[in-house]
Homo-oligomer: A and B are copies of this chain.
Amino acid sequence: MTTTSPGRTPRERARAELTREIKDAARRQLAHHGAAGLSMRAIANDVGLLSASALYRYFPGRDALLTALIVDGYAAMGEAAEAAEALVHTKTVMARWLAICHGVRAWSLANPHEYGLIFGSPIPGYVAPGDTVASAARVPVLLTALLEDLAAIGFDARNHGAPPAAVRRAMRPVLALAPSDLPSDLVIAGFMAWTYLVGALSLEVFGHRDAMHDDATAYFDYEMRRIATNLGLAGQPVPTPNTRR
């Protein structure tokens, strides 16, 4: 795997490189005009093509280009999470969870418009093809591995109030996606941790936390640590739900 690896003939190498440049230009456009304002003409101009129609040699249309950006975005976010986790892979589950959170956050803050492409308002008129699903699941897959390791060290539903049967029934499709040996409570806790992570990122990336913290990273670290602990993902028992008045 060399730096100039892909493509045998010069033509193929040039094609791969220009494809990359087109996507880079599109990503730059995204920042200034948003997904809806992505312009084929402006992109062509950016990469030095004299005519927008030349882009149709590389992407069959605007929507295909958008799809490529979305798939790339999911992949980049997934890679950021995997790379961060790999550095602490032999440490505690909590350390790995925090690494994933910080990795995803760093990527999201560095690429807010790609984050918006993924977790922001859907682009009207655009329908994501099936291709996106596989790359979309990378972070959830990473989290599932964490849950499996938790289960492997004997951490199962015995510490938790198992979710009511009605809830297990309600989330049957999710439970079917997870490995069958994972206790349902662990799946739910993981799902909730993921939900919290997306909430924290969306609020921060989209500007709803502006001027709310003197040290946003420190607060993020605390909330992620606490959410994992409180959800029972750190080896702490969690009380069964009932209210006191």
Contact = CB atoms under 8 A, between A and B. Distances in A.
Interface in A148-191: 153, 163-164, 166-167, 169-174, 188
Interface stretch (A14-22, A45-53, A78-86, A118-126): A118-126
Interface residues of A, number: 73
This chain: how many copies in the complex? 2
A116 B122 contact: yes
A243 B234 contact: yes
Interface in A58-102: 92-95
Contacts of A169: 214-215
A151 to B, nearest CB: 14
B34 A170 contact: no
A241 B221 CA distance: 12
A1 interface: no
B213 A119 contact: no
A236 B161 CA distance: 14
A130 interface: no
The 4 closest A-B pairs by CB, nearest first: A199-B199, A120-B121, A235-B244, A116-B121
